[in-house]
Amino acid sequence: MAFFDNDLDFNPEKEGRAEALAKVTGRGKYSAEYRTENVTYAVIVGSTVASGKITAVDTADAKLADGVLDILTHINKPSVPGLLSEDKIKETKVGLPVLHTDTVYFKGQPVAVVVAKTLEEAQYAASLVKTSYQETKANVDFKSTHPSVSLKNDGKERGTVDQWSKSPFSVEQEYHIEGEVHHPMEMHATIAIWNGNDKLKLYDKNQGVNGVQNTVGKLFDIQPKNIEVITEFMGGGFGSGLRVWPNTILAVMAAKKVNRPVKLMLTRQQMSCLVGYRPESWQKVKLGADHSGKFTGLLHDSKNTTSLYENFLENITRISRLAYGFENLKTQMATVPLNLSTPTWMRGPGECTGAFALESAIDELCFKMNKDPLAIRLQNLSDVKDPESGKDWSTNYIRECMEKGAAKIGWNQRDLKPRQKKEGNWLIGYGMGVGMWTAGRGKASAGLEMDVNGNVILKTAMTDIGTGTGTSMRNIVHENTGIPLDKIKVDLGKSTLPQAPSQGGSRGLSSISSSSNAIAEALKSELIKFAQNINPDFKNVKSSDVILSDSDVKIKNKTASVSFRKIFEDNKLTVIEVEETTEPGDVQKKFAFASGAAHFCRVKVNELTGKVKIDRFVSVVDGGKIVSEKPAKNQIIGAVVGGTGMALMEEMTIDKRIGALVADDLAGYHFSTNSDVPVIEVDFINKPDFNLNASGAKGLGEVGIIGSAAAIANAIFNATGKRFRNLPITPDKILKG
């Protein structure tokens, strides 16, 4: 199903987004909403302990419940070849050998799956499953646990660390951030349908259908071409959909066992422990500067939570090697294995966490020097060469972002000394933070199909996770061909379509935009080939010399044209199809690439209640060419909202006695709502980077959150004079000081 159809009264130029009508009318289907004949329902039974061995699983009562078809445990599950080999588990990166072990690594780990005719019957039967354990002491205490290995030099060291001893100004502080749960609106879900022993169809919530196709193929020893994966729409992911989780594997196992389609949807509580999270982290930053304000050196250490069965390193210190020209630098990282599930990438992974510590430390150093944090950052930027690789930046407009954002927020009204502005009981403060993310692209394919009436369908396996990929593809093809927007449909998120990478790492549009340009040029070339047999004026004409309308192909600045209908009739065509694959070339090896953002905010802090109110927030972003402005702004706004959650309220609260999450639903887990954020002012530099791709677009998804939490924390210090190095900054902490 394409995102919109011409038989509906829909004006994409007015509505803005290609998928808008399908979403607001409910016609667009999410993974759990597809209708499947003879479908059954699966419910996961989670471990009630956080550590130990399963000694028995009593399913007798559950099997007697109405509608129950089968109950899978580690004893009677269908064997999954890829879960029998540690090497295959590492290769596929599934981590947990779900139902292929009697070891319990965390509370909520799947120990059984009940399959029944209805969801209600499966839920009731799941409540009757009784599991016995040989329980062992669980450890979920990040702060008191030593890393699995000592802080390890990540090989990113330059200069000498002795420079701090010579620095007239320095800071050395530790920073801590609680873990965060993704909690997108749509819970993870899978519908698995077997057709024989070697053909499988999956409706699955994920950020990359080809990735799921390949992983499931390796796990179940099936040719990927025999697996069809569909993810047309996605209700948020933030990184949780970038890998295959237990729900997908269990749905496939259950469908194989009962020989019927199986639908498995996680509960909100299960979302807290089965699809990853941003790990809890500790950082130490030591930063020095000379009398002029030039940075003399940086030491950045980090540790983050991981599971006992899989090592997840968040790469927290990478941000310190991007933005500023530290001639003397050393970064070290380590992980802390606990009785928790494996964390995963969460929007701006590593950089978002690391930027809080780095940008806070810079703010602290500036206060100690009695210098303007904006001026010191501008003085120390490395915006000509990448300090890591030594390559020239292809484009880097972070300086322009900072200058433009400062003007917008009224940075000149900020006092160097804190607690200088007040309105009634509200203290006023200004803060800033800088974000950078390595801009990249991958191999991606796109196709295009045109009919006799000039209607076009764009096709790619890439899933639009809400970032506006389909809209951007449509806009690129419109801009390069002239085909009216209302003639262009978009078909995404199916593994049967031209292959494309997952939507993650801010590389989605950067990758698929080149393919979109390529198919636009290929279509024009095809039409020229047919048109020159009808009208000699088209001989030796290049694709750049023609423009398309809703009914014909024309030579620019000439009257010569040939109608689509004439081309189709003369050549007995029913459809014209083109497909193109693009990938990084040699030019990408010559330069370094990055997106950047400067975040500025004005906060009000109530002296009596400790409440923080973000009065204004300005983000200015260098994301290359902005192909679709509304979706681009939406991405940054959503990212900043995530940053406010990190700064002020989000935390995975864990009961250390039982190893369980205390807040495992949307009532207990607090995140930003409309009332917590102001109207977020977003602006773009909007200068293309054609060395990266043909459209000039760079990634946006990550930089909107990187540095935003630091901007808020720094503003709170400017307002109150109190420095908070542990997130979230809740009212009780502000009142305690």
Give the DSSP per-residue string, 465-490: -SS-HHHHHHHHHHHHH---GGGEEE
Taking only the tens place, the pLDDT of each residue in 447-459 is: 999 999 999 999 9
Tell me how far the alpha carbon of residue 237 is from its chain's centroid. 6
Nearest 5°: the CA angle 569, 570, 575 is: 50
Contact 341, 105 (CB under 8 A): yes
Residue 76: phi and psi, rounded to 5, are -120, 20
**Would you state the pLDDT for residue 2?**
55
Roughly how many angstroms between the first and final C-alpha of the chain, as a whole number? Answer: 56
CA dihedral sign of residues 122, 125, 126, 131: negative
Widest CA span in the chain: 84
What's the pLDDT score for residue 154? 66
Identify the pLDDT of residue 4.
Answer: 41
Sheet with 594-606: strands ordered across: 421-423, 426-438, 594-606, 612-622, 680-684
pTM for this one? 0.96
pLDDT of residue 5: 43
pLDDT, residue 152, reads 67
Residues noted as catalytic: 702
Determine contact, residues 335/313, Cβ cutoff 8 Å. Answer: yes
Q: What are phi and psi of 103, to 5 degrees?
A: -85, 135
- Dist. CA 621–CA 431, nearest whole Å: 17
* Sign of the dihedral through C-alpha 510, 512, 517, 522: positive
Q: Which of 315, 380, 400, 382 is nearest to 169 (CA)?
A: 380
* Separation between Cα atoms, residue 333 and residue 320, nearest integer Å: 12
Alpha helices in 649-697 (DSSP H): none
Question: Tokens 């990927």 — which residue?
Answer: 224
Pairing of strands 576-582, 594-606: unpaired
Which residue in 218, 210, 246, 462 sits closest to 344, CA to CA? 246
Cβ-Cβ contacts under 8 Å for 249 (sequence gap 6 or more): 80, 83, 94, 98, 216, 219
Task: Mark the ranges of the chain whose per-residue pLDDT is less than 70.
Answer: 1-15, 149-155
Contact 192, 262 (CB under 8 A): yes
- Note the pLDDT of residue 166: 82
Reduced to 3 states, what is the DSSP secondary structure of residue 99? coil
| Burial of 544 from C-beta contacts in 10 A (0-12 / 13-18 / 19+) | exposed
**Beta-ladder partners of 296:** none
Q: How far is 443 from 511, CA to CA, in rounded Å?
A: 7
CA–CA separation, 611 and 605 (whole Å): 6
**pLDDT of amino acid 330:** 93
